[in-house]
Amino acid sequence: MIAQDSLSAPDLPFPIFQISHTIRRYLLYDINTVTWLRRTHNILGVFIGSLPQSPQQNIFLGLPLELQPEEATLLLEKGLAFIADDLQIHKKAINSSPKGLTEYKATARREAFATAKAVVNHKQLKTQEVLQRLNVDSLAISSRGKTIDKDEPDESIFDAAQEPSSEPISSGTVPYSSTPTTSYPPMATPSKHSSSPLPEVNASSYALFKHLHASGYFMSPGLRFGCQFSVYPGDPLRFHSHFLAMGHDWDEEIDILDLIGDGRLGTGVKKGWLIGGAVKNSDTNAITKNAQSSAAEDSEDFHVRTFCVEWGGM
């Protein structure tokens, strides 16, 4: 059963962090925001964070979540988020509140030492439990061959480990560091006034993305299949993708060999090759009234039409 707290919306609008002006990447660090977007708005993104224990593995990834430019643009258009310049926000926060940052570092260090102490004590208790079991087993074996004199002092080498050590951990103990997934606290939550320009997206691919998203589909990057989007009818944790989507301009020419190759590729992986583009509503020769009425999510001047290509023979 899903906890009710996990379904609550974050404070809107929430920040999407842009970490570079040269290579624009849009990241989310808050797991509650990531979960809410996936369940409520069909936004998937891609986890890119590696595990601290295995920084070179790329199978089990975690936070942060990188959004596709189309996903970030859609969230901005809906007023759910704003783009925050990660570098400028951190510089401003560190320079404006050095005292608060120092206090936060001291608190984090105390928590790290407390965690390290708890781990060491737990290991000591486990070790002593094993030693006690070994001691009992050795006494049981020796009692089979001879009677143990109760007056004789027991000189077992395990006597010294009967009680947990109450001595404090030495000053050389390495603290367990805990890396938070968000920068606030200690920094204040970014304000919308620090917003950066909108993401740069391809007009044809964004039109197709927005159209499919409004129809209830989930979309992930389609690089592994040579397309722009892998289109899922529901959450990818429950469904396989049904389409491999590629956006085109309405008047763009598509090479016949590309069309055949893409269609065969889609059929080979048991998916449909979906192409789509935005067409002007004034072009009465290319649209119908039903198509116009079904495109409520599109602009007044354009709407999106899609076609599915499947390979039917050899």
146, 271, 280, 303: which one is catalytic? 271
Q: Helix count (H) and strand count (E) of the chain? A: 7, 10
Sequence-separated (6 or more) residues with CB below 8 Å from residue 149:
none
Count the neighbouring beta carbons within 10 Å of the beta carbon of residue 241.
23
Instruction: Name the residue with tokens 């040579």.
Output: 226
- DSSP states along 55-121: TT--SS-EEEEEEPHHHHHHHHHTTSEEEEEHHHHHHHHHHH-HHHHHHHHHHHHHHHHHHHHHHHH
Q: What is the CA radius of gyration of the chain?
A: 30
26, 213, 232, 303: which one is catalytic? 232
| DSSP single-letter state for residue 51 | B
Q: How far is the C-alpha of 276 from the C-alpha of 215, rounded, in Å?
A: 14
- Give residue 148's identity as a one-letter amino acid code: I
78, 105, 240, 280: which one is catalytic? 240
Strands 26-28 and 14-18: antiparallel
Q: Does the annotation count 271 as an active-site position? A: yes
Q: How far is the C-alpha of 289 from the C-alpha of 235, rounded, in Å?
A: 32
- Give residue 198's identity as a one-letter amino acid code: L
- Tell which residue, 257, 106, 224, has the closest CA to residue 175: 106
| Catalytic residue IDs | 232, 240, 271
